[in-house]
Amino acid sequence: MSIGSVLDEAWTLFTRFFLRFFLIALLVFAAINLLYALVVAAISSDNNGAAVALAALGLATAVIGATWLQGAFVYAVQDARDGTFDSSLSQIFARVAPSILPLLGAGLLAGIGIAIGFLLLIVPGFILLTLWSVIAPVVVVEKRPVFESFGRSRALVRGYGWTVFFIVIITGLLSGIASALLQAAFSALPEFLEIFIGSTIAQAVVAPFGAIAIAIMYFRLHEAHGEPLAAAAPVEA
């Protein structure tokens, strides 16, 4: 497994099935950014009660939405790697539903651990970010329990740590720069529309690439360790 091969396959899938990936992300980010825009509007109007309620709802929506999106892209990439994309958007999201709670648990624990790692001289944060980079695919595809998923991710990354690290960093930097540039194009809009429309479109365009790269990295780590995965489950009617 090499950095170039992972990024090349990610770019190929991203461009070939761009509309499908864009729509998956758009559905999630539209909900997240609508609530965020409403929170900002409530704060601007000094409606503190509404702002607090919307902020709580927005945080829950953001956490659940981002988690669902992670799982959705794993299934979408698994479906698309053979050159076809047979699943509908509703089928992709439905397949993720049973994994939402373990994904939430693993994601929150990993986020807390990585954040603490970055506070401890930064380096531990990068190490944990690398070792735990494929937790979401492990939970979704292998149906591993929350705590077991951490060890499984570490085992898959072992021997390919620097490759995984650079893929995560490169995709993160590219996504951040591209998202900032796209959002800047909507800066002339009123604040509410800038957040709801500008941020949603920018994130829906950019976020899939990084998520696709992580999913592909997971599948290629399996192959590198001599652990071929079964084909994607057939799509239910």
Q: What string of pLDDT tens digits covers the 237 residues of the chain? A: 788 888 998 899 999 888 888 988 888 888 777 877 777 777 766 666 665 665 665 555 555 666 677 778 888 888 888 778 877 878 887 887 777 788 778 877 877 777 787 777 777 778 888 888 888 888 888 888 888 888 888 899 888 889 999 998 888 888 888 888 887 888 788 877 887 888 888 888 888 888 899 889 998 888 888 776 644 444 443
List, in order, residues 6 or more apart from 10 with CB less than 8 Å away: 171, 209, 212, 213, 216
Tell me the domain boundaries of the chain. Answer: 3-82+89-224
Do 17 and 85 contact (CB within 8 A), yes or no?
Answer: yes
pLDDT, residue 135, reads 86
User: What is the structure's pLDDT at 233?
Assistant: 44
State residue 236's pLDDT score. Answer: 46
Q: How many C-beta atoms surround the C-beta of residue 176 within 10 A?
A: 12
Q: What is the pLDDT of residue 50?
A: 61
pLDDT at residue number 11: 92
CA atoms within 13 Å, Cβ hemisphere of 54:
18
Identify residue 57 by its one-letter amino acid code.
L
pLDDT, residue 45, reads 66
- What's residue 61's pLDDT? 54
pTM greater than 0.85 (yes/no): no
DSSP letters, the chain, are --HHHHHHHHHHHHHHTHHHHHHHHHHHHHHHHHHHHHHHHHHHTT-HHHHHHHHHHHHHHHHHHHHHHHHHHHHHHHHHTTS-----HHHHHHHHGGGHHHHHHHHHHHHHHHHHHHHTTSHHHHHHHHHTTTHHHHHHHH---HHHHHHHHHHHHTT-HHHHHHHHHHHHHHHHHHHHHHHHTTTTS-HHHIIIIIIHHHHHHHHHHHHHHHHHHHHHHHHHTT-PPPPPPPPP-
